[in-house]
Structures are given as C-alpha cells and as structure tokens.
C-alpha cells in the first residue's frame, strides 16, 4: 500500500459500518434458515436452492466488499474479484451440465 493511501485514512470502515454488515449477515443467515424450512417447489423445482444461493451471494458480496476492503481497492483488484465470479459461474455451469445429463443410475427412486 502506498503511504498516501495509508495516511489519508481510506480503506477503512467505521464501527457502525461493520455493525451494519454484521446485521446483513445475521439477517441473511436467518433468511437462509427460513427458506430451508419452506417448500418452494410450487414456484418451480429447485426454487429453494436458488433462493439459498441468492442469499449466499449477497452475504459473500458484503464480506468481500467491506471485510476484505475491495470497496476501497484499486480497479485491478475489482477486476480480479469480478473475474473470479465469472470463473465460479463457469465452474457451476460445467458441474450442472454434467449433473443434468447423467442417467438415473442405480440409486434412483
């Protein structure tokens, strides 16, 4: 880190900010539990998983931006963070493609 960056006080979040992010994480955890107890298959099959992943993505974004200080980082760090999301999406796509194209197998009901 450059001296100017450290001396200017940038890159830090105040205690109320940390408490706000903590509140978002706690509410997200409670929402995840609540979503797991409800059957959302009437919307479409797999809706519970989608809701849980959306909540997890929101929580992960808060942690990354504020606890890992990406919010105050240079653009190259932002580029690395965004590229990691695309890489994760590619890995999920390949995994789901493999999972969805398999036959029922021995353990199917």
Residues constituting the chain: 109
> Is 14:66 a contact under the CB 8 Å cutoff?
no
* Residue owning tokens 């979040």: 13
Per-residue pLDDT of the chain (109 residues; tens, 9 = 90+): 444 444 445 667 889 989 999 999 999 999 999 999 988 888 887 788 889 989 998 999 999 888 888 888 899 999 998 999 899 889 988 888 887 787 766 666 5
Q: Could you give the residue ranges of the DSSP H alpha helices within 8-104?
A: 15-37, 47-62, 75-100
Q: What is the pLDDT of residue 16?
A: 92
Q: What is the pLDDT of residue 7?
A: 44
Q: What is the pLDDT of residue 3?
A: 46
In angstroms, the CA 57 to CA 52 distance is 9
């Amino acid at each position: 880190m450059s001296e100017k960056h450290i001396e200017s006080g940038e890159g830090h979040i105040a205690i109320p900010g940390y408490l706000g992010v903590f509140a978002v994480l706690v509410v997200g955890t409670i929402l995840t539990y609540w979503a797991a107890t409800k059957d959302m298959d009437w919307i479409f099959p797999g809706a519970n998983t989608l809701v849980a992943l959306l909540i997890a993505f929101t929580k992960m974004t808060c942690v990354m931006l504020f606890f890992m200080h990406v919010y105050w980082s240079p653009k190259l760090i932002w580029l690395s963070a965004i590229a990691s999301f695309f890489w994760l999406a590619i890995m999920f796509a390949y995994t789901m493609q493999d999972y969805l194209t398999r036959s029922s197998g021995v353990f199917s009901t």
